[in-house]
Amino acid sequence: MEAIKGTFRYKMLHLGDILVNKLEKSFRFLSKANRGVVITYDLRELRRKRKKVLTKIGTRMADLKTISPDLEIFDDTDLSRLFTQLERIEQKIEQRIDERERRLYPYKFQNESFAAAA
């Protein structure tokens, strides 16, 4: 605990303030650590979504092949929507991976930013 100056009465009156300060510091640390866990679970969920969308794309392409082999697959609105959804998921995965890398290796990215500025 912090160095407390003064009488016993002063110490007892300000003990709550000291406790609150310590709790605030602990909460800040936990919220930073919690963000890393959230990123990991978010990545896992995004990868599951990507797998589901890829499965839907494969199923839809197989259906189109059986219905009309001459049909251009990119003219299909459902397939275009699935590809757009896949692209958004891929972008989110890249963002989360980049954020995780920056959190895990902050000095690596600081050195790269200095090299780019020079």
Query: Is residue 79 domain-resident?
Result: yes
Kindly state whether residue 15 falls inside one of the protein's structural domains. Answer: no
Q: Are 39 and 101 in contact (CB under 8 A)?
A: no
Report if residue 14 sits inside a domain.
no
Give how far Cα 108 sits from Cα of 42, 48, 79, 111, Å: 23, 29, 40, 5
pLDDT tens digits, residue range 17-42? 777 777 777 777 767 777 888 888 99
The count of domains in the chain is 1
41 within a domain of the structure (yes/no): yes
**pTM for this structure?**
0.64
Q: Quote the domain boundaries for residue 65.
A: 34-117
| 60 occurs within a structural domain | yes
Q: Is residue 11 part of a domain?
A: no
- Domain assignment present for residue 12? The answer is no
* 77-104 and 106-117 helices, crossing angle to 10°: 100
Q: What's the pLDDT score for residue 66?
A: 86
Q: Residue 46 pLDDT more than 80?
A: yes
- Whether 28 is covered by a domain: the verdict is no
> Given this model, what pLDDT does residue 7 score?
73
Residue the block writes with tokens 């969308």: 53
